[in-house]
Chain A
Amino acid sequence: MPKPLDIERLKKIEKRIHEIAQEWGFLTTDIQFEIVGAQKMLEGMAYMFPVNFSHWSFGRDYEMHRTVYDHTGSGIPYETVWNFTPPVALLVETNPFALNTIIIGHVYAHVDFFLASKFLQLGRFFSDIADETYYAAERFREYEVQYGKDEVEKTIDAGMAIWWQQHPDLFFEEELDEDIARDRLLTTEREKARPGKDVASQFKQGGLEDEVLRRKLRFLAERVPPEPIYDLLGYIARYSPLLKSWQKDILSVMRNQARSLAPQRKTKLLNEGWATYWHVRFMRRLFEEGLLTAEEHGIYNDFHAGVTRENKVGFNWYRIGLALFEYIEEKYNKGRFGREYEACEDPVKKAYWDTHAMKGREKIFHVRSFYSDRMAIEEFFTDEFIHQMQLYIWEAYVDEKSGETTYYIAEKDPAVIRRMLTRSHTLYGIEPIVIQNANHNRSGHLYLNHLNTDVELDPKRRDGTLFHIFTLWGKPVSLETNIDDKRVVCSFDGKKPEVKPKPKI
């Protein structure tokens, strides 16, 4: 039987962690720690927010977490903390004291990251997502009563198919209002065409140039949307001729949720690495101060080892992120940066390089404020680090006869590994797809363009997504993409999906 959680002691230790955090230069605020049962924690993990609307996919994940929990039963070694104002974190009442202590330290580091990272600052910027989600859950329940559970589910299903489709640059705000966007573009074009004061412009008069401009302006005036739009959900919710206002409400809530979470997807490695790096130091400190017993320190060691276990066929964010910050710290403490170091070609000299620069601490705080995962990978996943981490690329081979899958190490070249990681962290699994034309064939058909010309989409999922977009748009939907290195147009008209080569213009 686990001992009942000593809340008073936990409060004391949280206070101490807060003090240490300030001493270390963390940005911090009043964090709300809720002590909850395992069920609420598991729900929090599955529903993305403390309270969220009802959907079977959340239920599916909840059941999965629940099964794992029921079968291991050794506590929940995860933290759940939301980038709200103020931040909210969950502690499980049945977790051992030491585990909850690690989690408090871990959460303090996450909160520092939330407050400092330029990306996560943005995550809080869109809306007060905590309140919005809370009230949306209530509204959606009313919609279920009023319009039917199935109808609501259909809308959410469709929204989920495209809710991560956003502008690749988080900081870029797309103009969804067509009139404003068009005006802006027309003005720019006209400005560009206005004769300047320089000599060359004085001589450019009339004729061909004017005709080009006129055509350009006419094209812009007719084009819908005036500029390609990445924000599929935002555009469709706004301009779909089909959607009722309650459906638009559902979609815009979902859009806000996805937008507020997107920055976390782009900083997951750094954020988890940061939290792990610091929970190690919090625990060491608390133990030194005699606030944790030797037994509790042992429990901590076990959990920490579990969380940072090497993963042969996966990327353990906690392990690699922790090592990354330690690597950066050491590199900058020893002055292993700058032109002189980079130019040095003597491997022996480099191995013993130490200028006692002691810039490590400063550098890691800088990285947590200004870097995304991709930036960190490009800069710090050096050959040296990849070797240290023993990273490799694995591949899976499926035997056609037996159906058996074999996993093997396919590649150890650090350049290839770095390229693969950079690539997957450039788009974070979200293919750049824009609404090219919302009045395709002059009949209000939707024409999407997959801008990556060397990536092929999973055909089943692709057609499934087109189906979902069709339910939202109500008219045929086409997607220009790649199959076998050729451009094709996949479309769905409400009956069956179709693939055709892209017509030559």
Chain B
Amino acid sequence: MSIFVPEPTSERGRGDAKRHRDKQKEVLKENLPKVIAEESIITGGQGKVKIPIRRLSIPDFRPGKSDGGDVGVGQGDGAEGEILGKRPGKGKPGQAGEEPGEDYIDTEIEIAEILELMFEDLGLPSLEEKQVKELVVELGWKIRGTSKSGPWPLLNTKRTVQEGMKRFWFLFEALKSETGIGELICFSALKKADGIFSEALLLLQNAVLLPIETEVVPFPILHTDDLRFHNIQPDVQYQSQAVVIAMMDVSGSMSQEKKYLARSMLFWLVRFLEKIYEKVVIRFIIHHTNAKNVEEDVFFKTGESGGTYCYTAYELAGSLIDTEYPPAQWNVYAWHFSDGEDFSTDRTVEELKKLFARKINMFGYGELRVGETWRLLHSLSDSELFTAFSKAFAVEKTEVDGVRVMTGTDEPLLGIVITRKEHIFPAIKQFLKKDRWMTHA
């Protein structure tokens, strides 16, 4: 018969739970290329997303064929063949973490957490905003704080009176303790002496004063020391803002799958930029034979037939920069997604040179070559645009994790060829390399 309340103990579970989370993150990190291409992330928006993560368990000798479905004993009404319930699939087979025989739980994870993992994977430290080019914008003058001197028009009467009141109380108390006389008489003397302490003291010491005043009504006593002036400073704002100008070829050759890749790439680029800039704006331009500014949903949905003039998009991007996003105040990242087809590469190169002349931070070129994977990568021939860019600009060509990369040595140019989902991660890694987004800061 012992019911008792034991001493409380510290929470052990939390530490061990963290260890499990850390181990999950290790697994997540290994699977990053798959995870970041998850559709649920891109459609889930910002903040937290749900992705299937393996609930780690210790393996043991347990019956089970890898291809076998589940079976068990249940209870309730119903005839043979009756359907008891359905559970939606956890993504298509082959997607992140979809391996048979494992337990999965949909775990909520913050996009920021995934970004952190990506940086860790890149060996980048946690980013601080300081590393980014801050733009100084002058806005005129601004009152900021007070000072003890200044021109009369800038006298801060409120603060000055406050200081005067403080002095009143200080002198009043000093008078009382100095003379030992009652407070109404002290107050009368101080008032008669116009707040001058020595005079009030003399009055009290040399004359017999009657309490003229009937109550203590404090008044400000001002010395030069008590004056307070508004302090003014030039008003500048350190703005860290960036604009992403997303351009996409919507001609007939751009399939839904290619657009998905573009969308996924853009999603992560913007998430990254949001981490380092206070404000990030995205503008969308679609083009086929001519270009136009559109809203986001139109950007990803539009499909047109016909040919392709890329320069039209660059031209429009240029005028957008000139009118709305002057590089003196904006960090400009222009990205063009295309399948490499262009009917007039000469003019395109010309327009791109103009973009570089505007001192943009970066021009990214994402070439989407999905559906051509039946060819071996090395036999995937360079597209018209890719060839044109590499001829027109000084570039280095490399291949990283199966992704063909072109890096401008003189201009902030980055070209990436993506042939499948798994390429998004290495492609973004290319972008995240510090010297790229920091360009001419």
List A residues at the B interface (Cβ < 8 Å). 7, 10-11, 14-15, 18, 30-37, 39-40, 42-43, 46-47, 51, 54-60, 62-63, 66, 91, 93, 153, 157, 160-162, 164-165, 310-316, 319-320, 389-400, 402-412, 417, 420-421, 429-431, 433, 450, 455-465, 467-468
Contacts and interface: CB of A to CB of B under 8 A. Distances in A.
12 contacts: A40-B9, A54-B16, A57-B57, A59-B17, A93-B5, A164-B60, A310-B76, A313-B85, A320-B75, A409-B80, A455-B63, A456-B64
B357 interface: no
B73 A403 contact: no
A136 B87 CA distance: 43
Interface string B307-345: 000000000000000000000000000000000000000
B63 A11 contact: no
A36 B11 CA distance: 12
Interface in B25-63: 55-63
B13 A409 contact: no
A319 B75 contact: yes
Given A313-B84, A397-B69, A399-B89, A56 B16 contact: yes
Interface centre among B56, B71, B73 (most CB of A within 10 A): B73
A460 B79 contact: no
B72 interface: yes
Classify the secondary structure of B's interface with A. Answer: loop
B66 A403 contact: no
Contacts of B17: 56, 59-60, 62-63, 66
Contacts of B9: 40, 51
Contact of A55 (B3, B5, B11, B16): B16
B81 A408 contact: yes
Contact of B101 (A157, A408, A460): A460
Nearest to B58: A160
B83 interface: yes
A315 B72 contact: yes
B75 A43 contact: no
B6 A310 contact: no
B301 interface: no
A56 B88 CA distance: 29
Given A62-B17, A403-B90, A404-B89, A457 B58 contact: no
Interface in B243-291: none
A63 B11 CA distance: 12
Contacts of A389: 75
Given A56-B17, A62-B14, 6 more contacts: A32-B2, A55-B16, A60-B17, A405-B89, A412-B79, A456-B64
Contacts of B71: 393-396, 410
B62 A461 contact: yes
What are the nearest 4 A-B pairs in CB distance? A403-B89, A59-B16, A464-B59, A62-B13
Contacts, number: 239
Contacts of B98: 403
Interface in B336-374: none
Interface of B: 1-6, 8-9, 11-21, 23, 55-66, 69-93, 98-102
A61 to B, nearest CB: 8
Contact of A417 (B70, B73, B77, B100): B73
A30 B4 contact: no
Contact of B86 (A157, A320, A405): A405
Given A15-B1, A30-B1, A409-B79, A56 B20 contact: yes
A459 B84 CA distance: 29
Contacts of B84: 312-313, 394, 407-409
Contacts of A409: 74, 78-82, 84
Nearest to A316: B75
A392 B60 contact: no
A499 to B, nearest CB: 13
Nearest to A452: B63
B320 to A, nearest CB: 42
Given A54-B16, A320-B75, A409-B79, A457 B61 contact: yes
